[in-house]
Amino acid sequence: MNSSNETIFINVESARSETELADRIRQALQDAGPSESHLRFDLFSSSGVARLIRALNALRPPSNVRLSALLAAELFADARIRRGLELVGVAELRELRSGGAKAAASCSTPVDGFPEDLISLHNWELGASGASEAVLRITYRCNARCPFCWVGNEKAEPAAETIDAALAALAGLQVKELSFSGGEPMLNPDLARWVARARELGIPRVILQTNGSLLASATRLRALRLAGLDMLLLAVHAAEAESGRRAFGGLLDGETPWNALDTALAEGLAVVANTVFYAENVSQLLPIAARLLETARRHGRDLYWNISSAAPMGATEQAYRSLAPRLEDLRRVLPEAIRLLHDSPVRIRGFESACGLPLCVLGDAIGLLEDLPSHPELGDDFFHPPVCDGCSMRSHCFGLRRRYAELFGADELRPYPENPRG
């Protein structure tokens, strides 16, 4: 039996069916017994909200169990969703925000006492709420050589004591999400141990950033789920096999991430497909969007598609001229991809981060996006050229990378004289 006032976390999205979700809640209520307990639900899709409402309506938890939910921003903004949850007893609702603008202007913030390439905070929120996200690199080894990857693979494996100390530090900072990264984190044989340790320390949401090469079988994925893994951030840099092979530096089969995606969705795990655009794979943008949509519909699941652009940092700084995707090339295909995925099970994200792209590459499709950053403050790597002065979206846009402007100029920018979102 759980101790009084213990919080029990239930990730609604990872339940493979409404029956499985109801069974999880029923078991949690049984474990709670007559003592005062707290059930916390993590919700990231409207379908998950609907499943939870139906389950709670049928189960009717007793009054000694407090119900709360952490909702993705677009769900929290919907008054009907909030009201529906309140009617079934979920009285405490909180929004999972993308974080403060100042931190988002740089892609990461270091943690005192730890190397920046080992542990970093993303989307830092000032005040008691802590950091939205953290990344912990538990290995620098990788079985791929993605040309746009800035992480070198020459460093020694972090010691177990170092990883344990980093997890404790992140728990103390009250991070909401922790991503295990690398290198390829699945090359660390103790990954499941570290996932379990993160959950023991009270970190609410644990994510695995992976190229999927070691997920051909569901066996290890199931072990990670049992340890407490909530979500995969899966590298999907091409839709076609040969382009995919090149994106992995010629070392992995181009179908690797798609096989892993099928496995993860079949196992009920939440998935974010992560695409880094660089000069060679811009032509894959529309095929990736179409294939993600087909996959989501085939599995009857929601997906997020996180997009970003190759950055001039670390191992890629010297090669940035050849790696950088040209804005004009992206403008020819990205709006069409957004239109294809509008009102579909696949949601695009990434424009709320400075690791993304200037908003004007979206053309008139910008009006279809659900989330945009608010009043971002620029870091040293970004600026608004004079052409941006009259743009109606300037306060929502991180601008242009200085290094990009040094190499290619700013003539590709197309400011919005009037607000395209109405």
DSSP 254-278: TTHHHHHHHHHHHTT-EEEEEEEE-
Cα separation, 211 vs 235, in Å, equals 5
> How many other C-beta atoms can be found within 10 angstroms of the C-beta atom of residue 53?
16
Token digits of residue 38: 């707290």
Structure confidence at residue 288 (pLDDT): 98
CATH number listed for the domain at residues 7-95:
3.40.50.12060
Structure confidence at residue 54 (pLDDT): 92
Q: Of the ranges 2-11, 279-288, 341-350, which one carries the lowest mean pLDDT score?
A: 2-11
- Sorting pLDDT into bands at 50, 70 and 90, what band is 232? very high
pLDDT at position 302 over 50: yes
Residues in the chain: 422
**CATH architecture of the domain formed by 119-264+277-299+312-323:** Alpha-Beta Barrel (3.20)
Structure confidence at residue 292 (pLDDT): 98
Domain ranges for the chain: 7-95, 119-264+277-299+312-323
**The whole model's pTM is what?**
0.73
Cα separation, 85 vs 114, in Å, equals 40
Mean per-residue pLDDT for 104-130? Answer: 60
Whose structure tokens read 């989307």? 123
**195 DSSP assignment:** H
pLDDT at position 140 over 60: yes
